[in-house]
Homo-oligomer: A and B are copies of this chain.
C-alpha cells in the first residue's frame, strides 16, 4: 500500500493542474510524491510547504523545486508559459495578508496567468483604495484578500462590475482570531454577487479565477 495517488488527468478534465497541500503531510510523504512526479515527468505545484519542511527534503528534490518562502509555494517543472495578463488583480487589505495574496499570484503564474498585486490598501484608509479604483475596475476578476473584519470585500463589491472573489485570512485577534469574522463578512456582504473561498485559500481563489477565465486545454508543451 502506498499512501498517495496522483491525478495526472485532472487538467484534461477540469483545466486545472494537480497540486499538493503539504501542511498535513509528513516530509516522507512529500518527498515520495515529488519523486513520483519527477519520474513521471509531470509538473506539480506544492502549497503550504513550510521553510522547515522544505529544508528537510533531499538535495535533489530541493534543487528541482522553485521555492518561494513568503507564499510557501514550490513549483516542480516550472510555470506554464504565459497565457494571459491584465485579467486578474489581487488586492490585499494589509501587510499581514501578503502571504495569502502571494499564494494566489504564484498559483496563477504556475498556470500561465500573470496577475497584478496590490498590498495594504485597507478600508480604514479608504482613499488608498480609491486612488487605485480605476485600475482595479479594468480587470475581469478581482481577488480580494483580507482578515480582521473584511470590510474591503463589501466596498469593492459595490464599486466594481467584474467578479470579486473574497479570500478571508486568519489575520486578527480576539473575536477575529481564526478568520471566521472575515469569512462571515464576505458571505453576508450587502454587496451582491460576491463569491467566497475558504479562509487563507489563496490557491483556491486562483483556481476559481482560472475556471472563470476559461478552460481551454493547455497547449502540448504544458
Contacts and interface: CB of A to CB of B under 8 A. Distances in A.
A133 B36 CA distance: 25
A16 interface: yes
Interface in A1-55: 1-5, 7, 10, 13-16, 19, 21, 23-25, 29, 33, 48
Interface residues of A, number: 93
Count this chain's copies in the assembly.
8
Nearest to A193: B207
Interface stretch (A56-64, A76-84, A115-123): A115-123
A119 B193 contact: no
B151 A189 contact: yes
A110 interface: no
A88 interface: no
7 contacts: A1-B117, A5-B119, A5-B125, A13-B161, A151-B155, A192-B203, A195-B197
A136 interface: no
Contacts of A215: 161-162
Given A117-B1, A120-B3, A208 B181 contact: no
A153 B124 CA distance: 10
